[in-house]
A and B are shown apart, each in its own frame.
Chain A
Amino acid sequence: MFLCYNKMSFAIKLTLKQALPIASRSSIILQNVYNYSSKATSQDNFYNNFTDWETLSKKKKVSKAMRAYLERAKEHDEFMKKQQFEYNIGKRHLANMMGEDPETFTQKDVDRAVEYLFPSGIYDRAARPLMKPPEEVFPARKAAEFDEAGWPHHFLFYTGKPNFFKLLYDITENIQDLYKYGDKVIRKKEVTDEKLLLNITGSVWLTKDQLEQLLVETVTDLEYDNFKLAMDRLVSLPHSHIYKDFIEKFRKPLATQRFALEIPKPSYDENGNAFVTTYECLRKKARGDVTIKSPGTGKITINGQDLTYFEDTQSREQVIFPLIFTGMQDKVDIVCNIEGGGPSGQSGAIRWGIAWGLRSFVDKDMLEAMQLAGLLTRDHRRRERKKPGQPGARKKPTWKRR
């Protein structure tokens, strides 16, 4: 048992050491470490088939850079093999400790077992013990970016950000192509079909993070601005629809699902009348539910009373405002139960509940108008606590010189 524990703790210690946030690089370039000879870029260029003098000669001399890379790759591989072995042993020990079958012990079981055997109250999750497969713990390594002779695969390799600058290069190339094309169109006096024109409303450029993820490179704010500027230039050209595919690779649709937050279909009671109940209508400390019945006569019932449940006119106005706004004051009946809070909170909660329920009975334009009027927005404000040393939440004692 002692041996088991010893082994376990070793495995866990190892993984713990690496549990700190590891840069989660994308897996696009992080292929097999042996992949060094597969060219990342496919430039169909005759001269790229060239390698170094020595490579093609019989002796096949390998460059210093490649030798160093191969050494590192071999070292890394051996290390990973060892880690994998230790992980498997640790997993078996854990399974035995938990009295389960080591063969069917999955990563989920490992996590459960670690949580059970090493309970930890440490706040930071990253500091808690864990045991994960080594591939997840140790960052994968970049495949070599050059061939055996040390020739980089990418023609902008020395800029340090080949993918990003290749993108800028492509944009410029496309812009120049479009200039030429535009000249040709003018010369031939052709007219472009209006339907073909590029319409990019409803989508936005990729954010900086998304672009970074796509390119697998870090991009500075300035570079990102340059990217957007260049793309805007490309899009603004009259025949930019030719490069629609290229442009759309870097655009992402806007979220148009504003009301897709499913509007409930009204239910029907035994008389065939439609009704919608909104639960959890909250405002300040008030809490209640609102039922809208259609068709109706505009009767409002609040906790069994009518609108006179509220004594002040402001609260009454609050309750009937959504009905008047939508013009439904004579078409529906309202029944609500409300508790907690004061008149202002209660009326606010009912107002929101009525507006929320009315969504099922109005058309899309009205929904838009209600959204703009702020009827569908929850008011999350709560009472602010009183602070010591002053009479209220914000109020201070009167200032006196002395």
Chain B
Amino acid sequence: MIRRCLILPLRNGITVCRNNSTAVAEQAESTQESNTPAKNPLDHPDYFQVHNLFTVKDLFDARVHFGHKEGSLNEFMTPYIYGSRQGHLIFDLDITAEHLRKALNFTAHIAYRGGIVCFFNRNALNAHLVEKTALECGEYAHTRFWRGGIFTNADHQFGAITRLPDLCIFLNTQNNILNQHTAVRDSAKLLIPTIGIVDSNCNPNLITYPVPGNDDTPVAIELYCKLFKAAITRGKEARMKFLQENN
């Protein structure tokens, strides 16, 4: 816990609430039940065992805890902040881990039920990695300029009735440093659930499953990609098994 000694409480009066972290407790609970999987996957708190995909140490090693500078903080991100070090915000990785596990669990369930997952990322540095992840797990990616109306006017844009994604995963939710990605708003309009890595300067309000964390560093993005890929793979494998047993 040396790193915690280095991190000072936020200067400008931002209160930090750390009492909403239940990650450890939930993990313990799910390991107990993992021996006897429930009939209905939805009844199980962690049917696909996504909690064992990563540890808080992994997140720390991947620099997930680094936020932006204090001045750019979005006030809705305050509950996820642990403190500030030398003017840079630091995420509470316990909270992040909890949110990430929920997101991974949801992803695996969507994959299990045959949903379409679409990855988003507007950071050119990480775009290729995200597209590659999508290709590798047989899902979809959109890391390019967002032409307005791809979701809201899909029939016209694609020239036919089109099935839209069932889950949007935003590896960063910003279009640039100022604007939010339009797809976040459009997904909310169309009731498409979203998972978003929200940095300290992003607004988590429209994201169904916000995951507070660093959304710029390639190492962090690599970790997220690896985790989501693993979750999707688990979901699809379970589905394949189910189909083979039931057909």
Contact = CB atoms under 8 A, between A and B. Distances in A.
Given A158-B140, A165-B144, A69 B128 contact: no
Given A169-B131, A176-B128, A151 B116 contact: yes
Contacts, number: 91
A57 B246 contact: yes
A230 to B, nearest CB: 11
Contacts of A57: 243, 246-247
Interface in A373-395: none
A56 B243 contact: yes
Interface residues of A, number: 39
Interface in A120-178: 142, 144-146, 149-152, 155-161, 165, 169, 172-173, 176
Interface stretch (B37-45, B59-67, B157-165): B157-165
A173 B131 CA distance: 10
Contact of B128 (A145, A161, A172): A172
A50 interface: yes
B247 A47 contact: no
Given A50-B240, A160-B150, A142 B159 contact: yes
Contacts of B128: 169, 172-173, 176
A160 B158 contact: yes
B85 to A, nearest CB: 33
Contacts of A50: 114, 138, 236, 239-240
Nearest to B116: A151
B4 interface: no
Nearest to B118: A158
B138 A58 contact: no
Nearest to B135: A155
B142 interface: yes
B114 A156 contact: no
Given A146-B163, A151-B116, A156 B131 contact: yes
A210 interface: no
Contact of B163 (A63, A72, A142, A161): A63
Contacts of A43: 135, 138
A68 B160 contact: yes
Given A155-B141, A158-B118, A65 B236 contact: no
A152 B162 CA distance: 9
B223 interface: no
B2 to A, nearest CB: 35
A158 B114 contact: no
A64 interface: yes
Interface in B135-169: 135-142, 144, 147, 150, 157-163, 165
Interface in A268-322: none
B247 A156 contact: no
Given A57-B243, A155-B135, A69 B161 contact: yes
A52 interface: yes
A48 interface: yes
A181 B96 CA distance: 37
Contacts of B159: 142
Contacts of A176: 128
A52 B158 contact: no
A215 B21 CA distance: 51
Contacts of B240: 50
A293 B211 CA distance: 89
B134 interface: yes
Contact of B162 (A65, A155, A169): A65
B114 A52 contact: yes
B189 interface: no
A48 B138 contact: yes
Interface of B: 113-114, 116, 118, 128, 131-132, 134-142, 144, 147, 150, 157-163, 165, 233, 236, 239-240, 243, 246-247
Given A45-B135, A142-B159, A156-B141, 16 more contacts: A45-B138, A48-B138, A51-B114, A57-B247, A58-B247, A65-B160, A68-B160, A149-B114, A150-B162, A155-B138, A156-B131, A156-B140, A156-B142, A158-B165, A160-B150, A176-B128
